[in-house]
């Protein structure tokens, strides 16, 4: 979680799904239709393959799912409510010297 908190201003950084990598843990939802209702359940898994904006996510004992990059959330990343409560960090990104 601390990865997303800015040390300079104490606000949270917006998670950036363009930086997702193989091995990252993500959450996503799965909709299952039963009768006229759709049950949505939340799942978490590990990214095992990336093909452009298509992520293959392996869920323990749950198989593999393919999701669009924009439709997953990073585990530990602040959600919308957190961002609203604490504010979003707008500090310029400073790369630490290698
Ligand atoms: Zn900041």
Is there a domain that residue 48 lies in?
A: yes
Residue in 14, 30, 16, 32 with CA at minimum distance from that of residue 69: 16
Is there a domain that residue 97 lies in?
A: no
Cα(51) to ligand 1 centroid in Å equals 32
Cα(33) to ligand 1 centroid in Å equals 42
Kind of pairing between the strands at 37-51 and 54-59 = antiparallel
Cα(35) to ligand 1 centroid in Å equals 48
User: Digits of tens for pLDDT over the chain (98 positions)?
Assistant: 457 888 889 898 888 898 899 999 999 999 889 899 999 889 999 999 999 999 999 999 989 999 999 999 888 888 778 888 888 998 876 666 66
Rounded to two decimals, the pTM is: 0.70
Domain span at 21:
2-86
Q: Which CATH number fits the domain that encloses residue 27?
A: 2.30.30
Cα(13) to ligand 1 centroid in Å equals 7
Quick one: tokens of 20? 């997702």
* Residue 8 to residue 85: CA distance in whole angstroms: 17
* Residue 4 to residue 74: CA distance in whole angstroms: 11
Is there a domain that residue 92 lies in?
A: no
Is there a domain that residue 98 lies in?
A: no
């Amino acid at each position: 979680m601390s990865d997303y908190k800015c040390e300079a201003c104490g606000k949270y950084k917006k998670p950036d799904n363009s930086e997702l990598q193989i091995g990252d843990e993500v959450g996503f939802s799965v909709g299952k239709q039963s009768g006229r209702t759709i049950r949505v359940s939340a799942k978490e898994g590990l990214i095992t393959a990336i093909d452009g904006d298509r992520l293959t996510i392996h869920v323990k004992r749950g198989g593999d799912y393919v999701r669009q990059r924009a439709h997953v959330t990073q585990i530990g990343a602040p959600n919308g409510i957190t961002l609203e409560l604490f504010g979003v960090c707008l500090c310029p990104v400073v790369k630490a010297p290698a």
